[in-house]
Amino acid sequence: MKIYNSDGKKLVNAEYDEIVEVNDIIDGMKVISVQSKSNEEYAVFLLEASTKVTCYIFDEVFIVGKGESYDTLVAAIEAWRNDEI
């Protein structure tokens, strides 16, 4: 398990080839799923303290998108797959 912090645009103190994994922590939220559509970008789904799910879209260590809070992981993944994030 790794603990990451971001500055809103990228992961701080992370190597460019690091890939976030399930059970890592980002900005105090636990990673509950990592999904990929292509080799370039991947989505990281995080459990908020409020038990809502949020999504960060990464290109290497750069945050290229953020999703809103969703009630379930399934809803968050569907929104990402439908390019709503």
pLDDT value of position 15: 86
Cα 10–Cα 19–Cα 35 angle in degrees, nearest 5? 100
Q: What is the pTM of this model?
A: 0.89
pLDDT at res. 68:
84
The answer to whether the beta carbons of residues 45 and 39 sit under 8 Å apart is no
Long-range Cβ pairs for the range 21-26 (8 Å, 24+) = 25/1, 26/56
Per-residue pLDDT tens for 24-62?
A: 999 999 999 999 876 778 999 999 989 999 999 998 889
Q: What is the mean pLDDT of the chain?
A: 90
